[in-house]
Amino acid sequence: MLHDRDSAICPFPATKFYPNPASLYLTIDYLSEENVNDSYVIISTIDGTVIQIIELSTAPSSTIINLRDYSPGVYIITLYENGVQKESHKVTHL
């Protein structure tokens, strides 16, 4: 399931990725479902090259990703819970 900032329906409304587009950093606000032991996001280029894997706390939290070393472009942020892909978002880095 792929979402962008214009999506009207999101299966996990407690998960937010902002700002989008982003220049220096990206914030992920995350609230897991019940019985989640392992949560992480994979950041990849539009062609599927994995750039970074970031573990998320299973408690409600915010994670800030520094984008200074990223080249400008479109990235896919994919959320996994217990090894299962839950959602993906397109993020533009300026």
The string of pLDDT tens digits covering residues 28-66 is: 998 877 778 888 999 999 999 999 999 988 777 889 999
- Specify the long-range contacts of residues 76-79, CB closer than 8 Å, at least 24 apart: 76/2, 76/43, 76/44, 76/45, 76/46, 76/48, 77/17, 77/26, 77/28, 77/41, 77/42, 77/43, 78/41, 78/42, 78/44, 79/12, 79/15, 79/30, 79/39, 79/40, 79/41
Domain boundaries, position 68: 2-93
Task: State percent of the chain over pLDDT 90.
Answer: 60
Q: Give the pLDDT score at 6.
A: 43
Q: What is the mean pLDDT of residues 1-21?
A: 62
In this prediction, residue 92 carries a pLDDT of: 96
Q: Is the pLDDT of residue 68 over 50?
A: yes
Q: What is the CATH number of the domain that holds 83?
A: 2.60.40.3080
In total, how many domains does the chain have? 1
